[in-house]
Amino acid sequence: MSGSALKRITREFAEISANPLEGVVIFPIDADMFKWNIELTGPKDSPYEGGRFRLNLTLPETYPFKPPVLSFATKIYHPNVSNDDKGSMCLGILRSDAWKPSCKIVAVLEMARGLLLEPNPEDAVENSIAMEYKNNRANFDRIAREWTRSYAK
């Protein structure tokens, strides 16, 4: 199983290296290719602009039948990222009941970057941040910018 997983991961890594996503840099950290370090650049016109966010992408041995696990190593003020030392992001296609084996890593990364531009408060892990985002957008933007300045250097 992991042999074919490795083959597909290698293929996907080659595709992403050939056509890099804007604002996404990838460094595989293990020779087995099952752990990737990712650096997201905060998108323009978002409170995360100018920040550099480190993420860990872990691919299960049963990939692509099981979804990858994505987590923020850099602290971020975001309704869809847990505000703890895990920084986990679990929504949409990353949920195992919504994951499809035909889904690619590049789609996962696009989704993560899309969430920086437009958080999804309906599917939040941090309800207080989601409330802030919905009801007091100015304050949300201010705190998110502050966190970006403090942590995402």
Partner 1 sequence: MSATPPQETHPLDFRTLLYPLPPDENLSCPICRSPLLDPVTTICRHTFCRDCLSGAMGVSPTCPVDRSPIGDGDIQIAPVLIGNLVGDLIVLCPNASEGCTESVQRNMVEAHWRGCGFGMVECGGCGERIRRKDWEQGGCGHKMVECGYCAEEVRGVDLAEHEEVCPQLSAPCEHCLLEFPRDKIKQHTTTCDEAIVNCEAITVGCPWSGRRREGGEHAISCAFTYLKPVLLEHASRIATLENENKLLRRKIDIIMPTRSLEEEERTESGLDQQTIQILTEQEHVRNDVQRIFAVLQDMELKQTMLTMHMSENMRTREEVAMIGAAVNDLRSQIHGLHLLTLRRQAGTGPNNQGGSLPVRRVGDANPGGDRVKL
- List contacts with partner 1 (CB under 8 A): 1, 4, 7-8, 11-12, 62, 64-66, 98, 100-102
- Cβ 108 to partner 1, closest distance in Å? 15
Provide the CB-side half-sphere exposure for 122 (13 A, CA). Answer: 2
Q: Please, which residue, 102 or 118, has the CB nearer to partner 1?
A: 102
- Which tokens is 36 given? 């990737």
- Cβ 30 to partner 1, closest distance in Å? 20
- Cβ 70 to partner 1, closest distance in Å? 19
**Catalytic status, residue 90:** yes
**Rounded Cα gap, residues 10 and 152, in angstroms:** 29
CA-CA-CA-CA torsion sign (64, 93, 71, 41): positive
CA-CA-CA-CA torsion sign (40, 45, 46, 48): positive
Contact 46, 116 (CB under 8 A): yes
Q: Please, which residue, 17 or 62, has the CB nearer to partner 1?
A: 62
Q: Please, which residue, 11 or 44, has the CB nearer to partner 1?
A: 11
From the list 16, 33, 90, 106, the catalytic residue is: 90
Residues sharing a CB contact under 8 Å with residue 68, sequence separation 6 or more, in sequence order = 57, 58, 59, 60, 94, 105, 108
- Cβ 138 to partner 1, closest distance in Å? 39
Q: Please, which residue, 64 or 119, has the CB nearer to partner 1?
A: 64
> Which amino acid type is present at position 91?
L
Residues catalogued as catalytic = 90
